[in-house]
Amino acid sequence: MRSKFWIILLAVLIAIPAAVLQAQQEPSGTVIAYNTPENWANWGAVLRAFTEATGIQAPSDPKNSGQTLAALEAEAASPLADVAYYGIVFGIQAADKGLVTPYQPEGFDEIPESLRDPEGLWMTIHQGAVAFLVNTDELGSAPVPQCWADLLKPEYAGKVGFLDPTQAAIGYSVITAANIALGGDFENFEPGIEYFRALYENGLTLPAQTATAMVQQGEIPILIDADFNGYKLANVDDAPIEVVLPCEGSLAIPYVISLVKGGPNPEAGKALIDFVLSDEGQSLFAQSYLRPIRSVELDQSITEAILPAEEYERVVAVDYTQMNAVRQTYLDLWNAEVIQ
């Protein structure tokens, strides 16, 4: 009898340190993820589902990609964020500046090699495409524009806008998309500069912050932005928005995530990255009409609400490392020759 008692007691004593260790390893507390606005890319729902699944608090953050990179640089000596989300060119810059640290979650190998850093400094979690989001109620008698060239016509004067390319990833993607679609490349920006100089003279608007509300309300009747924002406005918000992929061609816009170097809660940061690449996380992003980076089954209501696959055949992916490398050159030309 005594022998049995001591065996049980020994087992309990062994189990207690293991249980304590496991509890210590479980991430908890709060994760700070920069650039996760409530209404962008369904981040609000994603963060709520993450908290429900893990118990880790995850407040949304209103920054854009450029502001996120600037904050990471300013806080490098004492980081405040655990995770950063941004357009791919900003993710590459953050890695080059030593602001992020490698992490390879489950599903990392399913991401195409061109859309992830080999060490895991950044990785794509979903993609969109540059598109025209057109408020059809605000066009009057003008037809819905189908091509980049259409936007230069007098009937669209003062009706076109997109986010400032010096501040937001989507803005830089817009000017890159047009340059490539109109015959330019990463060594020749003249087609893009010539085009945007004319568009600027035609009354181009360049807001600094997320502008989907402006197209919904008709302040910018034609917003050049991510396709998924247009689908959400049309299908969720019941706004009179039509999504158009320009006839000359468009650009895929990958969005990436990174673990911040020296962040205050790295285990919670890893847990969030794990979640966004999980089937649940990927499906939640798809509910906001983003194309998941991993192959997950999508609800039929989503596939029926977006443009058919053949429309996306003219959406191209590029060497995003090169796109980042020439960014400042293109923006210097933009500042000097478009908005001078």
3-state secondary structure of 153: coil
Which of 1-15, 16-30, 124-138, 148-162 shows the lowest mean pLDDT across its residues? 1-15
Which residue from 30, 106, 62, 61 is spatially nearest to 276, judged by alpha carbons? 106
User: Domain 128-252+308-337 falls in which CATH fold?
Assistant: D-Maltodextrin-Binding Protein; domain 2 (3.40.190)
Secondary structure letter of residue 175 according to DSSP: H
What is the spatial distance between Cα 177 and Cα 227, in angstroms, rounded to a whole number? 13
Measured CA to CA in angstroms, residue 330 lies from 14, 87, 178, 193, 194 at distances of 63, 17, 13, 9, 12
Lowest mean pLDDT among 157-161, 206-210, 233-237: 206-210
Ordered by start, the domain boundaries in the chain are: 27-126+255-303, 128-252+308-337
322: Cβ contacts below 8 Å, ≥ 6 apart: 186
Q: What is the pLDDT of residues 170-180, one digit of tens each?
A: 899 999 999 99
pLDDT of residue 122: 98
Pick from 102-106, 222-226, 296-300: least confident: 296-300
Q: Is the pLDDT of residue 296 over 60?
A: yes
Q: Are 258 and 36 in contact (CB under 8 A)?
A: no
CA-atom Rg of the chain in angstroms: 23
The CATH number of domain 27-126+255-303 is 3.40.190.10: yes
Give the mean pLDDT of the chain: 91
Residue 4 has pLDDT above 90, yes or no: no
Helix or strand (DSSP H, E) at 24: helix 2-25
Question: Given this model, what pLDDT does residue 21 score?
Answer: 38
Each residue of 307-325: pLDDT tens digit? 988 998 999 999 998 998 9
State whether residue 263 is helix, strand or coil: coil
pTM of the model: 0.75
* Burial letters 85-98, b for 16+ CB under 10 A, else e: bbbbbbbbbbbeee
Residue 7's pLDDT is 47
Element of type H or E holding 304: none
pLDDT in tens, 52-63: 999 999 999 999
Cβ atoms of 123 and 84 within 8 Å: the answer is: no
Average pLDDT over residues 115-120: 96
87's CB contacts (< 8 A; 6+ apart) are 65, 168, 169, 170, 172, 173, 253, 254, 255, 256
Q: pLDDT over 90 for what percent of the chain?
A: 78
Q: Rounded CA gap, 80 and 250, in Å?
A: 36
CA distances from 222 to 131, 138, 157 (A): 10, 9, 10
Q: Do domains 27-126+255-303 and 128-252+308-337 have the same CATH topology?
A: yes
